[in-house]
Structure 1
């Protein structure tokens, strides 16, 4: 966990003339899980889009494994080891298996056959394996979240970005998905987790960052926040506690 997998320095930008984030600095080391928390509308998802290459910042840099990828298109960042999970997105008309097969295009960097990669991902999620030939549109919310996380097992990222992780899912489903994140961290994957629930974030993160008005206002460990519940409550609601 000594080497940086992701470094963001002075990242600013937004949409057209509307600036959303202002001078963001953060790092995530290999094997580390960092949670980014804060109320809606503070710029968390915009930051994810800029790190993943879906939006271009007006200033600042994004480094993956020490390589500057600020101007690199999003698709190429995937081939360089960055995977992004946003919500429960899936191709509803395709089967579960075909959805996973769609994500095998970066796999040649690992020299693994697509069908082997898909079978390996399904083996981790028995519920998905039982529904492998069903359209993704027939899955429950928890199963769709399993599906989009299963692609990370295929792409084998060095850096994983997850946005809207636990939204609308039952606690038992969230618990199983958190265990997968822990397994990925144990394998050396660096994870930046965007999470509305501070309790969910505290259960898996090594460090927690809090955003307000497009900037990071605080950094704490889960242990520190457990010792000060009032501080955690103020931070997640947008209160700039000192």
Structure 2
């Protein structure tokens, strides 16, 4: 039993059906992120990507289907308990604006139950992000967009997640800032976090992850190696513009 859990994917969800009231949004959606892997979920706006992330995070109860973290069925568990199973979600530039950089990071150490451990984890995170270290006593509200995104990512070092889910981390940021953030995500992955990335920029996603799932109208319509898609821009364009309807095979 232990070996099965140890070798299980870091994250897997299958047969996910989810609705907002009478409107069904997800139709048997599913994906897998293996241990140590980086995976992207791509597709146009409004196809259900963020809804699937809500189901994975426990913020939306699915009508059907299951979510597993490291082989453990967490479908019925609260968001807080999923964090205990190694899940961490970064949504945009979400921070506590009135709290300092250091206080923001310390907030994410609550699961450890140890002030000493939290203090050490915060210092470790600041060591990885020199710009945040220089602004450690400033309120998050005073940070630039790129710095707020760094702060949102830095919490992953404090939490040390087994699965890091990132939603639209490049949105509205300058290319030079995005390049730096991509390198930080790689470093988090090297520290042991499997990564699921939802990203509007196809170029950013393909240059960062190992595998890609494409979503259309609440369904996963294709699964590809990132390197394969990067070499075939016409296929990427077809999938992003509705490749399922156009007969593009998975």
**TM-score scaled by structure 2?**
0.92
d(CA) in 1 for partners of 2:84 and 2:174? 33
Which residue number corresponds to residue 114 of structure 1? 118
Which residue number corresponds to residue 223 of structure 1? 227
Q: Does 1:126 pair with 2:130?
A: yes
d(CA) in 1 for partners of 2:208 and 2:96? 29
Which residue number corresponds to residue 176 of structure 2? 172
The Cα of 1:112 is off from its aligned counterpart by 5.8
Dislocated runs of 4+, deviation >4 Å: none
Which residue number corresponds to residue 183 of structure 1? 187
Alignment of 1:1-242 (within 5 A): 3-108=8-113, 113-240=117-244, 241-242=248-249
d(CA) in 2 for partners of 1:225 and 1:215? 19
User: Which runs of 5 or more residues in structure 2 are unaligned?
Assistant: 1-5
The Cα of 1:236 is off from its aligned counterpart by 2.0
For residues 50-103 of structure 1, the C-alpha deviation after alignment (integer angstroms, 9 at most, x for no partner) is 001111111100001111000000011111110001111111111111111111
Match of 2:107, SS state, is helix
Evaluate the alpha carbon distance shift between residue 217 and residue 5 of structure 1 in structure 2; reply closer, same or farther with a 3 A threshold.
same
Which residue number corresponds to residue 3 of structure 2? none
* Range 40-49 or range 167-176, more displaced: 167-176
Match of 1:201, SS state, is helix
d(CA) in 2 for partners of 1:179 and 1:227? 22
Evaluate the alpha carbon distance shift between residue 113 and residue 2 of structure 1 in structure 2; reply closer, same or farther with a 3 A threshold.
closer
User: Which runs of 5 or more residues in structure 1 are unaligned?
Assistant: none
The Cα of 1:239 is off from its aligned counterpart by 3.0
Q: Is the 8 A contact 1:164 1:195 kept in 2?
A: yes
Q: Report how many residues are paired.
A: 241
**TM-score scaled by structure 1?**
0.95
d(CA) in 1 for partners of 2:122 and 2:201? 31
d(CA) in 2 for partners of 1:152 and 1:107? 13
d(CA) in 1 for partners of 2:116 and 2:62? 34
For residues 159-192 of structure 1, the C-alpha deviation after alignment (integer angstroms, 9 at most, x for no partner) is 1111111101111111111112212222331111
d(CA) in 1 for partners of 2:222 and 2:92? 25
